Structure 1
Amino acid sequence: MAEVEWRRMRAEELNALAKRDPIAIVPIGALEQHGPHLPVEVDALLGEEVALRTARLLDQQGIAVTVLPMLWAGVSEHHMSLGGTITLSQAAMTAVVGDICRSLTRQGFRRIVLFNAHGGNEAPLRAIARDLSPDLGAALVQLTYWLAAAEVVKPLLKSQSNVGHACEAETSLMMALRPELVAHDRIVSGLDASDSVESAASAGLYRWRSMAASTGSGVLGRPEAATRETGEALLEALPRRLAERLAEPVLWSMAA
């Protein structure tokens, strides 16, 4: 199996890789509160792991691929009032991700994946992909890992249809990957969230709202339903589906 981690490779190896029409995966997460039972690094830790597992599956198919180190700070203003959070402005995110992508294209990388692991990054990264793509001379794909593999996530969860926040899914993934970081005695339900604003906004309206206004615990979902077995199943299913999607030739051949 080839090395897929950018940070572990030498410059000459990366220069050679760039000549093989590789996929460069840029994982982007967050450093923010995850309720009373999970550490603040959840999004960064899980996103990098899923990205690496996805890349290794692509490598097994003979697809040249590399994964950059996780960009650990994201757009997390909505978590700031609960503490433990570092946030970037959208302007800072645009500048940093743009410069990373331009650095890649200057070295010959023409297939780039903005591999998102934090819900608050979804809209900013979609805008970045939209604005950068015409100027890069490269194919730029943006995905949020649980949304891009939603059809394999839902059947594995008991209490929700996809990833929430410090929920059954994220807690299960952490139980499988880093169980020592899960405080089982501090798990609380996130079902205290008021849905009045969300209901009003459901018909095509948007209003920004802090996480503290949605849930006093910092949790959205039911982490009490989490199990290590569910986490292990997710860690197998998510990368497999993402690798399938990223290996599709039509994804990279569509005219811009």
Structure 2
Amino acid sequence: MAPRPYILAETNWQLVKDTGFEVVVLPWGATEAHNYHLPYATDNFQCDYVAAEAARLAWEQGAKVIVLPTIPFGVNTGQLDITLDMNLNPSTQLAVLRDLVQVLARQGIPKLVVLNGHGGNDFRQILRELQAEFPSVFLSTVTLFKVVERNQFFSAPGDHADEMETSMMLHIASHLVRPLSEAGNGAARQFRIKALREWAWAQREWSKVTADTGVGNPAAATAEKGAAFLAAVCANISQFLVELAAADLQNLYE
């Protein structure tokens, strides 16, 4: 396969020095258990796929966009007792992002999109802090599973190793998905406190919430559902990248 010019890991200095990149995409996933049937790197596979496909579509429309390697560790502070669920604290994420944004600011690359593929990550407050520190770089974030309405594609509720994630992985890397007959049912306990179920928030203690580490039944997952969902997600993100690449940062508001 020929190197893809919009994937930094595959491209070279000759192309990079001759291309005025407008947008850098930083995919950020996690390494954590995903029920019995999905791999620990599920979030990273999904980030890799969506970032590459969205960038391809944007590149083909003339957007000068480049995708950095996926950062494979996320915030897993609610899963510290789940073996080999790897945790980066939000303060560590801030330190990593500060270093990377500093590179972009120094080199005059004007726009960064943090592509988030993990529910435990939330980059908004981090980007608020860094935006004040690096005003020359426009900072934004996209959470890939919030780009389109999941109910258009999936019937079973859930948010971890569920029908949605399993369908995506069946499309992206089916060879890494165990038979669904081996999966747990993803049954999850809820907070007893009504407000925490509805409008308040507290971190879930994962080992007390779910026996198989999943939240949501994956039984109805199919590769076809995953392909349709991913196509919609990548189309929307690619349009964002095209518009962002062309945007005048001094004239962003109507």
TM-score, L = length of structure 2 = 0.89
Whole-Å separation in 2 of the counterparts to 1:239 and 1:94: 26
- For 2:133, the aligned partner's letter is D
The answer to whether the Cα contact below 8 Å between 2:45 and 2:172 also exists between their aligned partners in 1 is: no
Q: CA deviation at 1:101?
A: 1.6
Q: Closer, same or farther in 2 for the Cα pair 1:175/1:107, shift >3 Å? A: same
1:144 maps to what in 2?
Answer: 143
Consecutive unaligned residues of structure 1, counting only runs of 5 or more, are none
Whole-Å separation in 1 of the counterparts to 2:206 and 2:55: 32
Whole-Å separation in 1 of the counterparts to 2:17 and 2:105: 12
Whole-Å separation in 2 of the counterparts to 1:155 and 1:217: 26
Whole-Å separation in 1 of the counterparts to 2:144 and 2:193: 23
The answer to whether the Cα contact below 8 Å between 2:27 and 2:71 also exists between their aligned partners in 1 is: yes
Q: CA deviation at 1:251?
A: 9.3
1:127 maps to what in 2?
Answer: 125
Whole-Å separation in 1 of the counterparts to 2:116 and 2:224: 24
- For 1:10, the aligned partner's letter is N
Q: Closer, same or farther in 2 for the Cα pair 1:2/1:30, shift >3 Å? A: closer
1:245 maps to what in 2?
Answer: 240
Whole-Å separation in 2 of the counterparts to 1:40 and 1:232: 21
Task: Work out whether 1:236 is the aligned partner of 2:231.
Answer: yes
1:165 to 153, 157, 160: 160
2:215 maps to what in 1?
Answer: 220
Whole-Å separation in 2 of the counterparts to 1:234 and 1:198: 33
Whole-Å separation in 2 of the counterparts to 1:118 and 1:227: 21
Q: CA deviation at 1:90?
A: 1.6
- For 1:186, the aligned partner's letter is E
Q: CA deviation at 1:33?
A: 0.9
Consecutive unaligned residues of structure 2, counting only runs of 5 or more, are none
Q: Deviations over 1:209-253 (max 9, x none)?
A: 221122111001111110111111122111011112333356954
Whole-Å separation in 2 of the counterparts to 1:108 and 1:232: 36
2:24 maps to what in 1?
Answer: 24
Report 1:93-112 matches (<5 A): 93-112=93-112
Whole-Å separation in 2 of the counterparts to 1:90 and 1:65: 26
Q: Alignment partner of 2:86: what SS?
A: coil
Whole-Å separation in 1 of the counterparts to 2:173 and 2:236: 22
1:11 maps to what in 2?
Answer: 13
TM-score, L = length of structure 1 = 0.89
Task: Work out whether 1:78 is the aligned partner of 2:75.
Answer: no
Whole-Å separation in 2 of the counterparts to 1:62 and 1:52: 15
- Deviating beyond 3 angstroms after TM superposition, the runs of 4 or more aligned structure 1 residues are 248-253
Q: Closer, same or farther in 2 for the Cα pair 1:213/1:198, shift >3 Å? A: farther
Q: Closer, same or farther in 2 for the Cα pair 1:219/1:198, shift >3 Å? A: farther
Q: How many residues align?
A: 246
The answer to whether the Cα contact below 8 Å between 1:15 and 1:107 also exists between their aligned partners in 2 is: no
Whole-Å separation in 2 of the counterparts to 1:197 and 1:113: 37
